[in-house]
Amino acid sequence: MKIIWMGHGSFRIETGDLVLLLDPWLTGNPVLPEDQHETATAGATHLILTHAHFDHVADMLPLARKLNIPVVGQYDLMGYWSEHKGVETVGFNKGGTVALSETVKLSMVPASHSSTFGTDTGPRTGGSEVGFMLQAEGHTVYLSGDTDIMADMDWMADYYNPDIGILSAGGHFTMDMRGAAYAAKRYFNFKTVIPCHYGTFPILEQSARDLIDGLPGVDVVEPQVMQAIEIAAV
């Protein structure tokens, strides 16, 4: 498996014949150079959406149309897009699991955030915010999405037992690095943790040092934009 950070909360995950784009933010992403956009999205088979904020959803519909691939996400928004936006979707909800292939499964779990987008008449709700558990190559990867620490992490860790955590940890809008370390230590038994949603803007945390210091014995990998983190199959 290859996990490739596209900056902010966006990832390219390559597993088997699948290329999954998680919350791919291209337009206006200050840490993903424009000349990397094609490389970042080439060969994608699925788009995965955690919530409707602009820095996660802005390129979702254009990519779905350009690449002719499905968007996988929370039922309410997927149903609307399927009916009114002319794109293929896979809509499900918290507690559900969908098979992306014979060997790759995606389960939807709660997150604690919000999921709105702006309109001329004020903010509108775009479904609800979620995270995912990705099961592939003998691993379970927790894709936290934008979230704070929450008690639901207790049963999620016990039930899914993820060994890899991709955690939003930039603070201000989500957990910060100390909070992510606390959540990982209290609720999970990760072997590998990859922070995200940081370093994009000055308002966010710029370093993962507090996460690294807070998780002795855990392989905390500070991702570099468009550099693959390789995870061996088990």
pLDDT digits (tens, 9 = 90+) for 39-75: 999 999 999 999 999 999 999 999 999 999 999 999 9
Confidence of residue 208 (pLDDT cuts 50, 70, 90): very high
Domains parsed from the chain with CATH numbers: 2-223 (3.60.15.10)
CA atoms of 223 and 196, how far apart (whole Å): 8
pLDDT score, position 107: 98
> Looking only at Cα atoms, what is the longest distance across the chain?
51
Beta carbons within 10 angstroms of residue 43's beta carbon: 12
CA atoms of 74 and 24, how far apart (whole Å): 16
pTM, entire model? 0.97
Confidence of residue 120 (pLDDT cuts 50, 70, 90): confident
pLDDT digits (tens, 9 = 90+) for 143-188: 999 999 999 999 999 999 999 999 999 999 999 999 999 999 999 9
Residue 54 identity: F
Query: Which 3-state string (H, E, C) describes the chain?
Result: CEEEECCCCCEEEEECCEEEEECCCCCCCCCCCHHHHHHHHCCCCEEECCCCCHHHHCCHHHHHHHHCCCEEEEHHHHHHHHHHCCCCEEEECCCCEEECCCCCEEEEEECCCCCEECCCCCCEECCCCEEEEEEECCEEEEECCCCCCCCHHHHHHHHHCCCEEEEECCCCCCCCHHHHHHHHHHHCCCCEEEEECCCCCCCCCCCCHHHHHHCCCCEECCCCCCCEEECCCC
Nearest residue to 90 (alpha-carbon basis) of 111, 102, 75: 75
Report CA dihedral (114, 119, 123, 128) to the nearest 10 degrees: -30
Confidence of residue 124 (pLDDT cuts 50, 70, 90): confident
pLDDT at 127 over 90: no
pLDDT score, position 126: 86
Nearest residue to 197 (alpha-carbon basis) of 148, 155, 162, 160: 148
